[in-house]
Structure 1
Amino acid sequence: MSPRSYRMGQRQAEVDETRARIVAAARVHLAETGGLSLDAVARRADVARATVYYQFGSKTGLLEAVCDALAEQGGMARLAEAFTLADPWAAVDRFVEVMGGFWAFDRVCTRRLRALAALDDEVGRVIADRDARRREGAAVLSGRLPAAPPDAAGLLFVLTAFETYDALAAEAAAEPGDDLTAAVPAVTRLVRAALGGPGAAA
């Protein structure tokens, strides 16, 4: 490797580390305050405000990066498995399971983000775009179900929302603060009951 290539690689690693540190700082700031101040994020990440803008371009860019990091670390890549399963109900069950794992990854940050979306148009647009992707997935999977009700896609979308898991986890948890994935069995039963699936009465 040439010295120039080595320096470029080292520089890229430094840029990536700075970017990851800013995203982590934004997540902590969101969880602690329920807001997203770029000045506060910059201070927490120990960088200049200009660095945040250089890395992400805008508040929206930082929000997108936070959502991307949550998706990556929360296992959203596994969602593709649901669309490859031959059994349509197994596919829906996997969708419910993966969404539960994703919502559970950073429950507090996600709760703050979604609450802030109702108050801040910029945040609202980012969250609405992410929700639209889940809605599309729900439509595809529900469309494969035999004898599904006409509103199956909407029902699956609503039942796999963060708010559904968040509320049900409190009921299912053995101890306060238990993992949000404790709600997955309850959501699975609700989905099957609403969409006419096997074992709906279980």
Structure 2
Amino acid sequence: MSPRSYRMGQRQAEVDETRARIVAAARAQLTESGTLSLDAVARRADVARATVYYQYKSRTGLLEALCDALAAEGGMARLAEAFGHPDPWTAVDRFVEVMAGFWSVDPACTRRLRALGALDEEVGRIIVERDARRRQGASVLVGRLPDAPPGAASLLYVLTSFETFDALASETPSAAPGGPSPGSLEAAVPSVIRLARAALGAASG
């Protein structure tokens, strides 16, 4: 490796580390206070406010990066496996499981983020845009189902929301050994799958 390539690689590593530190600071700030101030994030990340602007251009850019980080950590890349499954009902099950994994990454942060979205237009717009992707995915999956009832895509969209998993998780009894812990959003997966199959018209038995 040439000295120039080494320096470029080292600089990119430093940039990546700074960006990761800023996103982690935004996540902590949001979780603790329910707000997202670029000044507060910069102080927490120990960088200049200008650095946050340089890396993310705006508060919206930082929010998008935070959502992307949660999605990566939550395994949203596994959606390709769900959509690619040849059996349409198994594809729905996998979709539920992937969404549960995503919502389970940091429920406290997600809860704060979605609550802030109801009050802050900028945050709300980002949430609406990301929820629209889930709605589109639900529509694609429902389109493969035989004899799906009217409104089936909307039903699957609602059943795979954070709010549904959050509500059901609190009612989920103790998990089996080796499974998700009681109260974990992933512990609600069997309940959501049962509800989804019933609502979408799966044959019983």
Range into which the TM-score falls when normalised by the shorter chain: over 0.9
Distance 1:174 1:167 in 2: 15
Whichever residue aligns with residue 4 of structure 1, its letter is R
* Equivalent position of 1:178 in the other structure: 183
Contact 1:100 1:181 in 2 (8 A): yes
Cα 1:28–1:91 shift into 2, 3 Å: same
DSSP-derived class of the 1:44 partner: helix
* Equivalent position of 2:17 in the other structure: 17
Whichever residue aligns with residue 184 of structure 2, its letter is D
- Give the fraction of aligned pairs with identical amino acids, expressed as a percent: 75
Whichever residue aligns with residue 70 of structure 2, its letter is L
Deviation at 1:5, TM superposition (A): 1.3
Cα 1:123–1:17 shift into 2, 3 Å: same
Match of 1:195 among 175, 200, 204: 200
Distance 2:14 2:80 in 1: 32
* Equivalent position of 2:178 in the other structure: none
Deviation at 1:173, TM superposition (A): 4.5
Whichever residue aligns with residue 103 of structure 1, its letter is W
Distance 1:171 1:131 in 2: 24
Per-residue Cα deviation, 1:80-137 (whole angstroms, up to 9, x for no partner): 1111111100000000011001100111111111111100010011111100100000
DSSP-derived class of the 1:35 partner: coil
* Equivalent position of 2:85 in the other structure: 85
* Equivalent position of 2:48 in the other structure: 48
Structure 2 unmatched ranges of 5 or more: 176-180
* Equivalent position of 1:143 in the other structure: 143
Distance 1:147 1:198 in 2: 10
Distance 2:186 2:203 in 1: 22
The 5-angstrom pairing of residues 26-175 of structure 1 reads: 26-174=26-174
Distance 1:173 1:49 in 2: 46
Deviation at 1:8, TM superposition (A): 1.0
Distance 1:55 1:198 in 2: 51
DSSP-derived class of the 1:83 partner: helix
Contact 1:159 1:191 in 2 (8 A): yes
Size of the alignment, in residue pairs? 200
Distance 2:182 2:15 in 1: 36
Whichever residue aligns with residue 151 of structure 2, its letter is D
Structure 1 unmatched ranges of 5 or more: none
Q: RMSD over aligned Cα, in angstroms?
A: 1.4
Deviation at 1:178, TM superposition (A): 3.1
TM-score (norm 1): 0.96
Deviation at 1:197, TM superposition (A): 1.2
Distance 2:11 2:203 in 1: 55
TM-score (norm 2): 0.94
DSSP-derived class of the 2:198 partner: helix
Per-residue Cα deviation, 1:146-202 (whole angstroms, up to 9, x for no partner): 110110000000110000000000000439973210111111111111111134xx8
Structure 1 stretches of 4+ with a deviation exceeding 2 A read 173-178
Whichever residue aligns with residue 183 of structure 1, its letter is A
Per-residue Cα deviation, 1:60-84 (whole angstroms, up to 9, x for no partner): 0000000000000000000111111
